[in-house]
Amino acid sequence: MLRIISALILAVTAICATAAEPLELVANPPDRHVVVKGDTLWAISGKFLKKPWRWPEIWRLNKDQIKNPHLIYPGDVVWLDLSDGNPRLRLGKPLSGRLQPKVYESAASGNISSIPANAIEPFISQPLIISEEDEKAAARIVATEEDRVVLGNGDTAYVSGIPDASIEKWHVFRPGKPLTDPETGKVVAHEAFFLGNARLTRPGEPATVRITMAKEEVTRGDWLKPAPEQNIVAYVPHPPEVEVRAQIMSIYGAINEGGAGSVVTINRGEADGIEHGHVVALYRKRTALHLDADIKREETTIPEERYGLAFVFRTFDHVAYALVIESSKSVIVGDAARNP
C-alpha cells in the first residue's frame, strides 16, 4: 500500500509534555551524517545529542507519529538545523551543493530501526511468560527418535496434544524459574526457557515434528506452543507518562549480573502503565560494610546512583522485558528502575 511519508521535515509539537528539559547537543556536533547500513535512530541521534534516547524530540515527532515513526534509509543525509534556535534533525539529499528535503512515496526495504533489532528480535514472539492457561494448553514431547536422550537440529520428536494439523510452526520451551518481586517476595510470573523451533511433519496422536532449530538441548517432556507470526514493533523511545518505581527481577540467560546488551525483567507491566518504547533509568542503592576500631561490623548507606538506561520492548500484566542500552557498570538483580 502506497503511503506518502514526509520524512520528518514538518515541525510538530514536542514528543511529550514531561520532556521539559531543553535538548543538549554534544560538543562540536557534526553538521550532517550520511546514513549507512547498520545505523539506528538511537545511534544517529547520539552523534548530535547528549541523551540520544530523546531522538523523537530532536526530530520533532508528536504523539501520533511516535506510534508509527517515519523511516530513513542508507544513503540518506541527516543534517542539523539550528535556524530557529532549537536543534532539529532534518532529512535530505545533497543536490547541487545544497541539502534538499526528501519525500518517500512508498515503504522500502533496508530501513533504519529505532534500536538494534537483532538484540531483541529473539524475544519478540517467544513464549517468555507462562500462564496457567499456557500450561493447560501446551503440547508435550512424549518420545524421541530412537529413544535419544537429547535432540538437536533435524531430529524427530513425537508430541502429544497437537489438535490442529493446520499449525505447522511451533516453539519448543521448558518451564523456567519463577519471577519474584524483590519488594514483596511474591512470585508474579513464571518464565519459560526458549529451546528452539519445530515443524509439524505428520499430525496424529502423537504427532511427529522435526526440530528445525535447537538453541539448547531438547528432551522428552519439553513443551510446545504454536509460533505466532513475528511482528517487530516500530519501537520509539519516550519517557513513561506515569511515575515508575520498579526493580530488576532477573537477567535473561544470567544468574545475577549483566551489562549493556542484556535483557532484564522489571516488576512493573501493562497494568502499571508500562508500554513498549518506555525508557527507564537504572539506579543502584547499596550498603557498604566495614569494621570499626573495635572490630564490629558497621553499615553505611551509599546514596542511590544512576548508572544506565533500559528500553522496554515487551510487556505483560505485571512484568516487562527491557534491553539495557547504556550501562557504566554491571547490572544486578534488585537494582532500581526509575523515570529517566
Residues 304 and 70: their CA atoms lie apart, in Å, by 38
Which pLDDT does position 101 carry in this prediction? Answer: 41
Q: In degrees, to the nearest 5, what angle opens at C-alpha 97 toward C-alphas 113 and 34?
A: 20
Report pTM.
0.68
The separation between CA 221 and the C-alpha centre of its own chain, rounded to angstroms, equals 30
Give the model confidence (pLDDT) of 201-241 as tens digits: 999 999 999 999 888 899 999 999 888 766 555 567 788 98
**191, 252, 195, 187: which is closest to 221 by C-alpha?**
195
Residue pair 207/198 in contact (Cβ under 8 Å)? The answer is no
Give the model confidence (pLDDT) of 114-156 as tens digits: 565 555 665 665 657 887 777 777 899 999 988 889 999 999 9
Give the model confidence (pLDDT) of 242-280 as tens digits: 999 999 998 887 777 888 888 899 999 999 999 988 999
Which pLDDT does position 306 carry in this prediction? Answer: 92
- Which residues is 19 bridged to in the sheet? none
